[in-house]
Every structure is written in structure tokens, then in C-alpha cells.
Amino acid sequence: MSAEFTPIPLRWVGPLRLTGDVEAEQEVPLATYESPLWPSVGRGARISRLVEDGIRVTVVDERMTRSSLFVADSAAAAVAASRAITARFDELGAAVSERSRHAKLIDLDTEIVGNLLYVRFALTTGDASGHNMVTLAAQTLMERVLSWHPELSYGSISGNYCTDKKATAVNGILGRGRSVIAEITIPAELVEKQLRSSAQRIVDLNVQKNLVGSTVAGALRSANAHYANMLLAFYLATGQDAANIVEGSQGFTWAEVRGDGDLYFSCTLPHLIVGTVGNGKDLPAVDDALARIGCREEREPGANARRLAGLIAATVLCGELSLLAAQTNPGELMQSHLLLERRKDSSS
């Protein structure tokens, strides 16, 4: 096996104007084969610069989780163990802290199915996304629990109640990763001029497509048009484990008509699994990109990662806004595609 690289086309787009928990006027790197994404995000970025507050970003929460599976003989034993483990939360927290400077146990949830006991550990992991930190912590915690409870046996270090790289409901309800909301209020005239649409049309489309359409499609805790595109491109450019776009792309676009035709537009991203240290972050291209977006500063642990998450959420908003506006106009979507890329999969 020889070392090589697959080069993914990269463009820097923006700058985006951010306020709130991240104050910045920042270009962002997007690595993707889908070149129409660049001008799409670029249009949103331009709008952000035309609005005084730009895109306001709020970081709601941060944590990383791993669920371990223990097998008991009976539900009665599983429930008893669950209560005992929960009662010794502080001891478990201390055990984690002994082995790691950065990982800190902050919560623990259990779920029982018959004699199967799933324990979901939640930790803060500083600036790391925390995959390895929580796995290491889970190993420590499993050993501890099994030493306390010989009536339990090892099921799995990871029991899919974590949940990593799968779309589920638990991540949003109990939390996983950085939870971020990006929002913007766009004056009516900018909506018309820059987006060639109206607040009402965008609001209606969001409800009919992202909410009703997703509902009938059988979506799960998700209502958006294409968060996955922006996440993929940003994740690749900054060394993130892009398999985490699977759960990261579950999120909610919400828009309202405000005042006399102004548009309130928001993207809620409850579980972005991202970090500025860890696997892949020391590759030169990644390191450069992280430095250029200001995520290599000396800050308190977690602050660089929160900045990263905020930039990602704002970028998602730019691309989502732009596509929805385009889809309010019959024909625009396709025309953009035709102009912006060489279509190889269509013969017409």
C-alpha cells in the first residue's frame, strides 16, 4: 500500500459576515466535486455582507457521546445496575479525568431492552471532535462498571445508541457534537434583488418542501434541502471525518416573513461532530485551512472548535438560502446547473 492523495477541488468562498457567538468576516474553504456549490454559497455570503448584523450564530451546546452495551441476566438486574451506575456518576467522572486531561464526563443516560443495558456516556472533549476520546473513556468506564457489577457481561464498547455516523433521533434529543443555530434577517429589497424571490415564496417553499415533503418522505428529525452538500465540502477542507455528515445533516430550516416582506431565515444544526485537533488536522493543507479561518488561535479549550462550528453553520445557511430561493423560480435551478458545470451525465 503506497501513500497517495485524492485531490478534491477546493475554492475559498465569501467572506461571510458573522456576529453573535462568532464575530468574523471570513472566507471559508469548500472542497467538493460539486462545483455549483461555490457560487451558491457565495450568493448567501454576499447577502450576509449586505446586512448589518450578517449571520448571527449561537452555539447552544457541545458534547461527545459513546454508548456501551452491557448484558445482564434479566431486566430486573439491568434496571438495578442502571440505577447503581447512575448513582455513582461522580466516581465515573473521576475515572475519566484520571486518564485524560481533556475529556470530562458530563452526563449519562441509560436505555434498557429486556436484559440489555445501553449506557450512553456524554463528555466534553475540548477542541477535538472526540471520537477517540469517548471510545477511550468508554473503555475505562466499562472496565469500572464491570468490576462493580460482575453480574453484567461485556456486550459492546459501542452499542449504536451513541449514535455515530447514522441518522437517528437520539443525537438531537440528548445531544451530541456542537449544537449551533445560524440566522439572518434580510430586508425585502435584498430578497428581491439578490435572491430574485420574495420572503413569502421562500417561507412557503420551506414549509411545503422541507417540512411537508420531508415528512411524507419519512424523514427523521430533519427538514432541510441540502445541508449535506455544505457540510461535506467544509468537512473535507478542514480535515473533519466527513462520514459525520450523515447525522450532521439532520437539521431544521425555519423561515418567517417579518415586517413588510423582510425574510427571517435560520438553520438549526443540532449535532455537528467537528473539531480543530485530532485525526487529519495536522496534514499541511488542513492545518493551513484551519489557520486561515482563525481556528488555530490560543484560546480556552473548545473555543477554536466552537468558532469552526459557527462558521460551518453560517456556510450551511448561505447554501440553503440560495438553493431555496432558486427553487422558488421555475427553471432557475436547472439553468444554473447548466451554466456552471460541464454536465457529463446528460446527453441532451
Contact with a copy of itself (CB under 8 A): which of 40, 48, 124, 129? 129
Please enumerate in sequence order all residues whose Cβ is within 8 A of that of 212, keeping only pairs 6 or more positions apart, or say none.
none
- 90 or 331: whose CB is closer to a copy of itself? 331
Instruction: Name the residue among 138, 139, 156, 195 with its Cα closest to residue 325.
Output: 195
Contact with a copy of itself (CB under 8 A): which of 256, 292, 294, 296? 256
Q: At what angle do helices 332-340 and 37-50 cross, to 10 degrees?
A: 110
Check residue 264 for interaction with a copy of itself (CB under 8 A): yes
Q: Which range, of 87-95, 161-169, 186-194, 291-299, touches a copy of itself by CB under 8 A?
A: 161-169
Check residue 252 for interaction with a copy of itself (CB under 8 A): yes
> Letter for the amino acid at 180?
V
Q: Which range, of 43-51, 86-94, 246-254, 290-298, touches a copy of itself by CB under 8 A?
A: 246-254
Q: Which range, of 44-52, 87-95, 162-170, 187-195, touches a copy of itself by CB under 8 A?
A: 162-170
Give the separation between CA 342 and CA 40, rounded to whole angstroms. 16
Check residue 56 for interaction with a copy of itself (CB under 8 A): yes
SS3 78: helix
- 48 or 229: whose CB is closer to a copy of itself? 229
SS3 183: strand
Q: Which residues pair with 119 in a beta bridge?
A: 68, 110
Shortest Å, Cβ 189 to a copy of itself:
21
Residues 275-314 that bind a copy of itself (CB under 8 A): 275, 277-283, 285-286, 289
DSSP state at residue 265: E
- 47 or 126: whose CB is closer to a copy of itself? 126
> Letter for the amino acid at 20?
G
The owner of cell 497517495 is 4
Three cell numbers, residue 69: 452495551
Residues tagged active-site: 34, 241, 337
- 144 or 337: whose CB is closer to a copy of itself? 337
Give the separation between CA 102 and CA 148, rounded to whole angstroms. 25
CB count in 10 Å sphere of residue 124: 19
Shortest Å, Cβ 88 to a copy of itself:
18
Three cell numbers, residue 164: 455515530
CB count in 10 Å sphere of residue 214: 18
Check residue 113 for interaction with a copy of itself (CB under 8 A): yes
Shortest Å, Cβ 337 to a copy of itself:
6
Size of the site for a copy of itself (CB under 8 A): 149
Residues 5-44 that bind a copy of itself (CB under 8 A): 5-13, 20, 29, 31, 33-35, 38, 42
**Binding flags for a copy of itself, 211-230, as an x/- string (CB under 8 A):** xxxxxxxxxxxxxxxx-xx-
Give the separation between CA 27 and CA 24, rounded to whole angstroms. 9
> Letter for the amino acid at 260?
D
Residues 173-202 that bind a copy of itself (CB under 8 A): 173-174, 181, 183
The owner of cell 461571510 is 16
Shortest Å, Cβ 39 to a copy of itself:
9
- 50 or 136: whose CB is closer to a copy of itself? 136
Shortest Å, Cβ 234 to a copy of itself:
11
Instruction: Name the residue among 246, 228, 205 with its Cα closest to residue 312.
Output: 228
Check residue 86 for interaction with a copy of itself (CB under 8 A): no
Check residue 320 for interaction with a copy of itself (CB under 8 A): no
Largest distance between two CA atoms of the chain: 68
CA angle centred on 251, ends 245 and 252, rounded to 5°: 155
Shortest Å, Cβ 299 to a copy of itself:
16
